[in-house]
Amino acid sequence: KFENRVAGAQDFFDYWIEREMEAADVSSLGAKLQLARRMAETVSRVHDPLMRGEVVNKASARLGVSPADFATLLSTKPRGTAFSEAPDSARAQAAPAPRHDVAILCLLALRDEAARNFLLAQSWREILEQLPDAEILIRILQSELHPDDSASLSAFMASLSPAEEALVSAWLLQKVPAAAEKMVEKWWLGIRHAVLRRRLAAAQNRIKLQELSTGDVVNLQKQILDLQEQLHELSQPAGAADN
């Protein structure tokens, strides 16, 4: 078995980790993610929980990520089944990343408990359902995920498609931004701006239609004024993100 080949070599994993790190360009996020997955494939084959935990700690330390984040990449397949048995063509490609402001909020909601709690305290569902490309953020927020709880992270990852899992894994390998709680307020304000601007543009286009009744025009005029007032109010705080 795999463990039998390395049990007598105390420094085997130290050597293996160093060799893998030297062969990869860890300055590239994509290359770092591929390296982390490749290392996780091997670590997944270590069945002894103590040895496995030690290797997880060593590998995550060299990658510069937390052990909990690295653990989310480990195989959940039955013992004795290795990732490497699947051909490269069968491995999932990451799902397309959402727009930048949504991606930032996904990263913050995944990695920082305070940022996640801030978003949950907002009318997030009502706002995000009006925003294209926000499905993955909605799934993150409606889940029972807790950034500091590796078990909840693993459970959330198990609920994703392979492509979604690859995308979320990339976010989990990124460092938590400094001042995450302030960042989340800024980017959430930007999301609210984007939704209001989208609604305002739709109302302004609709009011140009010739077949509208007088009542429809009056209602749209009121809606446009209300949206303009909301945008003006949101513009008062400094540092709002405009995406």
Tens of pLDDT, residues 181-218: 889 999 999 999 988 988 899 999 999 988 889 999 99
> pLDDT tier at 57 (50, 70, 90 boundaries)?
confident
Residue after which a domain boundary falls, among 66, 90, 114? 90
| Encoded amino acid at 172, one letter | L
pLDDT of residue 185: 92
Same domain, 86 and 104: no
> pTM here?
0.60
Cα dist from 14 to 17, 41, 156, whole Å: 5, 16, 31
The answer to whether residue 79 is domain-embedded is yes
Torsion of CA 237, 239, 241, 242, to 10 degrees: 80
16 has pLDDT over 60: yes
The reported pLDDT for the residue numbered 27 is 75
| 111 and 85 within one domain | no
Do 19 and 85 lie in one domain? The reply is yes
Tens digit of each residue's pLDDT (9 = 90 or more) over 122-181:
999 999 998 888 999 999 999 998 888 877 887 888 888 888 888 888 787 777 777 888
Sorting pLDDT into bands at 50, 70 and 90, what band is 239? very low
**217-232 pLDDT per residue, tens:** 999 999 999 989 988 8
Question: What integer pLDDT is reported at residue 6 of this predicted model?
Answer: 44
CB-based burial, 196-213: b 16+ in 10 Å, e otherwise: beebbeebeeeeeeeeee
Tokens standing for residue 34 = 């591929």
Residues 186, 133 share a domain:
no
**Structural domain range at position 142:** 100-172
- How many domains are contained in the chain? 3
Residue 104 and residue 46 share a domain: no
Q: What pLDDT score was predicted for residue 48?
A: 63
Assess whether 200 and 167 both reside in one domain.
Answer: no
Let me know whether 64 and 29 are in one domain: yes
Q: Is residue 95 part of a domain?
A: no
Assess whether pLDDT exceeds 80 at residue 91.
no
73, part of any domain:
yes
DSSP 8-state symbol, 150: H
Q: What is the pLDDT of residue 41?
A: 80
Report yes or no on 243 lying in a domain. no
